[in-house]
Amino acid sequence: MIKKKKKIDNTPTISNIKDLDQTKNLEDNLTDSLNNNEETYQDILNGLDKDSELGDSSIVSGNPEDLDIYFGSGNLDEDIIDESLVDNYIEDDMLVSAPVDDIPSDMYSNITLDSQTYDELENILADLSDDNDPESDIDSTIKDSKLQNKKVKKTKKSKTKKNKGTKGDKTKSKGTKDKNSKVSVLSSINTKMSLSVCGGVLLSLIVTFIVTMSGFSSSIDELVESNMSTVVKAYNTLLEDTILLTKNNLTTSNLTSLYKEEGLDGVESSYVCLIDADGKYTYHREYQKIGTQVDSQVILDLVEEHKKNPLMESGVTEYQLDEIDKYAGYYPCDNGWLLIVSANKDELYQTYYDVRKATLIDSGVILVVLAVLGFLVSLTVTKPIKKLTGVIHKIAELDFRSDEGLEKLCKRKDETGDMSRALRNMQGEIKNVISNINTASENISDNAHSLNELSNLVNEHSTDNSATTEELATGMQETATTAERIDSNINNILSTIDNISNKTKDGQNIAFEIMEKASKLKVNTQDASLNGQKMFADVRKETYAAIEKSKDVDKINSLTKTILDISDQTSLLSLNASIEAARAGEAGRGFAVVAEQIGHLANQSATTVENIGGIVKEVNDAVNNMAKCLETTLNFLEEKVLKDYDSFISVSEEYNSDADVFEKLMKDIYDSIVELDRSTELIADAISGISTTIVQSSTGVSDIAEKTSNIVELTIQTNQMVDESVEYAKNLNDIVDIFKLK
């Protein structure tokens, strides 16, 4: 989107046009297009006659017969129009938008407007858009456009555009006046303050009027009722006195002379009338109504009420007669009549209406006076604000020179004085900032030159370092190759040592297993020997105990002998008893039977004892045989088994000792191999580390060489950026020169 254009002067003027005829043609086209806006058009021509730097807008005309207006932020600086600019321009009487590249090249010219003239042109176009003249070509064009979209953002996408963007920003920093800088009447502070004062006064007057007139109306109502009640009572008293004088013989002439000219003082519409119990006029100032029926329902209702309530009290009521609002004071007479004093309501309230009218007039006068005073007071506020606005416009135009008007405003003691002092302080601060920018640009320029010299030195040293690092890289590569070979041989040695170590470890494990088996055999043999000895002792002890217990059979023999002796004695006693029973004769017969039975028992006992003796003899023979067998077994255990256990223990101890010696030898061999393996691994690690270090060093040296080369390139780029920084510093100085500080 970059459009090439021939280089033009940075400050083009009307003199850039080839000839005066072209200027005349452009003037004619402007005149035809702007129609009746000749006065404003002349302002544009005046702006074209002035020298102006290229700002944010341009009038371009490649074809003098057509008026082409180009809006945008394009920079015709040197050879490039900045990219990404979407602009509005008029083509074939239609305002359209397109990127800069799409705008026909023949539409560009060297006529440019400064920012102020551009604003004036924009105001003209805005005014034309509000005009209803159908003959205006620009009128219909502007109505279909959106001029507010004319300004777009700029972007930077390459280093070649940075310098151009800086110069473009320089022209933008001049600022433009707001096209709506003139405040409308309705938006001005004067109008707002005046309207506020008028509104407040009007509101207070309305409230006062409502409150006052409401109270005054109530007072009028009370006064009317009071006066009418008093008057009707007085006329009733007069009537009663007349009745007494005439001795109840009243005539119409009496009533006429009594009430003809009577009524309320100052109220012409007031009059007195009498109404009888039938609702007919007994007396009325209009003679034709006497004897006629009353035509007011309100009065008739009072008559009916008086009939029902002879003691009814007097009062005042409101009614309507012939579409006229009236007030009536009534008094019930003793003879059944009703005395009425009537008057028109409007006449009774005339004073109220006059006061209300006068109050409204006075309020209007007060409102106008206060509005004028409010406007005058607002002028005292807005006048210094307008002066401040002028100073702010100067600042917007980058004019920071001292202003006498601002100094006078700073002496004020009110808020505008505070605003003025704050603006003066801001102006001073901005001037200081601009001065600092100027100083900074000079420092940037100086530093850029110093940086350029340092970059050249760095470039030279980097070139030397690059050559040295290349030589180091070559040596490192050769050393790395040798280290790789050593590392390969060390790996083979490590593999062999690992095999020997594994076999030694297997032998050590076997020896350890043999030693464990020998230990278990020894333990088992010792346990078996101990168990055998214990069993032998227990068996011998139990055997001897059994032999000793077998001797208890002899006690059975003694018992058997004793039982046999008892049996003999029992037989002898039985015989003696039989003899004694025979001597006793018949008396001892029972005793003889008992003696006989005892004899039989003694014989049986003797027989049993003989059987027991035979059994005991057999038992004695068996016990003797068992004792001989036990003695033989004990002798065998003691002489053979126990001695064999001792031999087994001796053999297992020797077997265990041999296995222990073998295990220690294998362990020593294994420890030596492990130590050798560790040493070899250390050597391998050292060689590998050396190789890795060499490779890393080689890589590092290569990186250093590459980075040194990059440093050289970066140094070249740094020199280019230094040149750009110098250019930027110049641009900063140009920007600072735009500001008017003195």
CB-based contact 194:323 (threshold 8 Å): no
Cβ count within 10 A of residue 87: 22
Cα dihedral 131, 135, 137, 140 in deg (nearest 10): 50
Q: What is the pLDDT of residue 742?
A: 59
- What are 599-613's pLDDT values in tens digits? 777 777 778 777 777
Q: What is the pLDDT of residue 157?
A: 35
Average pLDDT over residues 280-307: 86
Q: What is the pLDDT of residue 119?
A: 58
Q: How far is CA 365 from CA 192, 241, 368, in A?
A: 20, 55, 5
Q: Copy the structure tokens of residue 635.
A: 């002798």
Average pLDDT over residues 170-199: 58
Tell me which of 576 and 31 has the higher pLDDT.
576
Q: What is the pLDDT of residue 95?
A: 39
Is this model's pTM higher than 0.75 or not? no
Highest mean pLDDT among 3-12, 267-276, 382-391, 545-554: 267-276
Residue 27 scores a pLDDT above 50: no
Cβ count within 10 A of residue 233: 15
Average pLDDT over residues 52-72: 36
Q: Copy the structure tokens of residue 478.
A: 């050769």
Pick the range with the lowest mean pLDDT from 21-30, 452-461, 558-567: 21-30
Q: What is the pLDDT of residue 64?
A: 34
Average pLDDT for the chain: 68
Q: Copy the structure tokens of residue 83.
A: 């990219």
Q: What is the pLDDT of residue 580?
A: 75
Residue 39 scores a pLDDT above 70: no
Q: What is the pLDDT of residue 359?
A: 81
Cβ count within 10 A of residue 200: 12
Tokens 């980097």 belong to residue? 462
Q: What is the pLDDT of residue 181?
A: 53
- What are 654-689's pLDDT values in tens digits? 777 777 777 777 777 777 777 777 777 777 777 777
At a CB cut-off of 8 Å and minimum separation 6, what does 90 contact? 67, 68, 69, 96, 141
Average pLDDT over residues 74-81: 36
Cβ count within 10 A of residue 263: 19
Tell me which of 640 and 168 has the higher pLDDT.
640
Q: What is the pLDDT of residue 400?
A: 66
Give me the long-range contacts of 475-483 (CB less than 8 A, separation at least 24).
476/694, 476/697, 476/698, 476/701, 477/698, 479/694, 480/691, 480/694, 480/695, 480/698, 483/687, 483/690, 483/691, 483/694
Query: Which pLDDT band holds residue 551 (cuts at 50, 70, 90)?
Result: low
For the chain, the domains span: 3-172, 206-366
Tell me which of 15 and 669 has the higher pLDDT.
669
- What are 235-267's pLDDT values in tens digits? 888 888 877 777 777 777 778 777 777 777 778
Q: Quickly list H helices, 37-158.
A: 38-48, 115-130, 137-143
Average pLDDT over residues 149-172: 38
Tell me which of 22 and 626 has the higher pLDDT.
626
Residue 176 scores a pLDDT above 70: no
Cβ count within 10 A of residue 480: 19
Tell me which of 472 and 190 has the higher pLDDT.
472
Q: What is the pLDDT of residue 42?
A: 45
- What are 104-160's pLDDT values in tens digits? 444 433 334 445 544 555 555 555 445 444 334 433 333 343 333 333 333 333 333
Query: Which pLDDT band holds residue 736 (cuts at 50, 70, 90)?
Result: low
Q: What is the CATH number of domain 206-366?
A: 3.30.450.20
Tell me which of 71 and 734 has the higher pLDDT.
734
What three-state secondary structure class fits 597?
helix
Query: Which pLDDT band holds residue 90 (cuts at 50, 70, 90)?
Result: very low
Average pLDDT over residues 428-457: 76
CB neighbour class for 508 (10 Å; exposed up to 12, middle 13-18, buried from 19): buried
Residue 88 scores a pLDDT above 70: no
